[in-house]
Amino acid sequence: MYQWIVIGGGIQGSCVASRLLEAEKVEKEDLLIIDPHSQPLERWRTITNKIEMKHLRSPFVHHLDADPYSLKKYSSAYNYASGFKGQYQRPRLDMFNQHSLDLLEKTGVMTCWLRGEVSGLSRKASGWQVYMADGRYFVSEHVVLAMGVNHISHYPSWAEKYKGSALVRHVFEMDDRLPETGDVIVVGGGMTAAHLAYALTQKESIDTVTMVKRHPLRIHHFDSDPGWLGPKYMNKYDKLTSYKERREVIQNARNRGSVTRDLYLKLLKQERAGRLNMITDNVESIKEHTDETIQLLMENSESVEGHTILLATGPAVAMPGKEWLDPVISQMRLLCAPCGFPIVSKSLEWGEGLFVAGALAELEIGPVSRNIAGARKAAERVLQYA
């Protein structure tokens, strides 16, 4: 029997697990981290590497270590050249990743790792039973649900029938590399789409790159106002007793489909150089041709043709783990808001010994819950209980 099981080994789960070990709230042999991938942060590293992201959007104090200045010290100790960028000192991605992996190695997260798929959860007299897709199960006093949202890609309705096709692919798909030749169309208007489009324009073997977005590029430094990190906005948010209102506040606070100014300027430069076409319009449908090209039919502008369509349209709008959490919610009568997401305590406890992090904690933590700052906050809340 374990003391703690953390389900999900991405940014959220790794941060919580690392803090539990570092604060000596649990011994390594009493902690289990379950994730579909072979290593911590594997999905994060695969996707950010695919789109050739160079710097994080968040500032230097947002990382997995408890010490907010840990990444600064790490940069100096290991002589990273230009480790941070701009007035907000956004860290180099490679440095952030190595800092994270070194921390997880030091705290012992790597030794607690189990690769596998969770298929169910139930509460017994002995504790929580976590069921695996391969038939095994594990028992623990406490469970942290830290599943990410990026494991299910959002396909717009016009692209649904092309799932699994070589012509239309989603950037969140783990086993795909970027195309090396032909005319490529990127669909999306946020940071992932912008990084992806820019990376493709750097490949000389690509003939043309077209970025199709539903709205003009929106420029924001961060994915939500920094005021959501502290009392400036959270004091008022915490007083909201309506979870419907909280959901509306979260949706309005997030700068969805926005890009940083430096990335915006890079795209403009490539557009002026003739390496990138940018179209603002709604896609209506797809037309496939016999010469292995595909055509996007637009609502207002001319159609766009290419050999590959890459979707950067984000994750599907769904609660993480919904397929196996729904029976648990019903059996345990766990509280949920009208949107279906958990109603939890200040310590992020959903049921006795059952905790949440990331997207599942956002009705309590607020708009920053899904990002690195949210992972830090979730870890602090769980630690207060532990």
Query: How do residues 328-356 score in pLDDT, each as one tens digit?
Result: 999 999 999 999 999 999 999 999 999 99
Confidence of residue 259 (pLDDT cuts 50, 70, 90): very high
Q: What is the pLDDT of residue 147?
A: 96
CA–CA separation, 38 and 126 (whole Å): 29
Q: What is the pLDDT of residue 173?
A: 87
Q: What is the pLDDT of residue 367?
A: 96
pLDDT digit string, tens, across residues 282-296: 999 999 887 888 999
Mean pLDDT of the chain: 94
How would DSSP label each residue in 154-201?
Answer: PPPGGGGGGTT-SSEEETT-TT-PPP-SEEEEEE--SHHHHHHHHHHH
CA 297 to chain centre: 30
Q: What is the pLDDT of residue 92?
A: 97
Question: What's the CATH class of domain 2-151+316-385?
Answer: alpha beta
Confidence of residue 318 (pLDDT cuts 50, 70, 90): confident
Q: What is the pLDDT of residue 162?
A: 87
Query: What mean pLDDT comes out for the span 313-341?
Result: 93
Q: Report pTM.
A: 0.94
Query: What mean pLDDT comes out for the span 218-229?
Result: 93
Confidence of residue 165 (pLDDT cuts 50, 70, 90): confident
Q: What is the pLDDT of residue 352?
A: 94
Decide if pLDDT at 5 tops 80. Answer: yes
41-50, 87-96, 171-180, 266-275: the lowest-pLDDT one: 171-180
Q: Are 90 and 55 in contact (CB under 8 A)?
A: yes
Q: What is the pLDDT of residue 164?
A: 82
Residue spans in the chain of domains classed CATH 3.50.50.60: 2-151+316-385, 157-220+255-311
238's enclosing H/E stretch is helix 231-238
- Pick 298 or 177 by higher pLDDT: 298
Decide if pLDDT at 176 tops 70. Answer: no
What's the CA dihedral at 74, 78, 80, 85 to 10 degrees?
10
Helix, strand, coil in percent for the chain, rounding step 5: 35, 25, 40
Q: What is the pLDDT of residue 151?
A: 80
Decide if pLDDT at 249 tops 70. Answer: yes
Decide if pLDDT at 174 tops 80. Answer: no
Greatest CA span in the chain, whole angstroms?
66
Task: Give the percent of the chain with pLDDT over 90.
Answer: 88
- Helix-helix angle 243-253:231-238, to 10 degrees: 160
CA 324 to chain centre: 20
Among the four given CATH numbers 3.50.50.60, 1.20.1090.10, 3.60.20.10, 3.30.930.10, the one describing domain 157-220+255-311: 3.50.50.60
Q: What is the pLDDT of residue 99?
A: 98
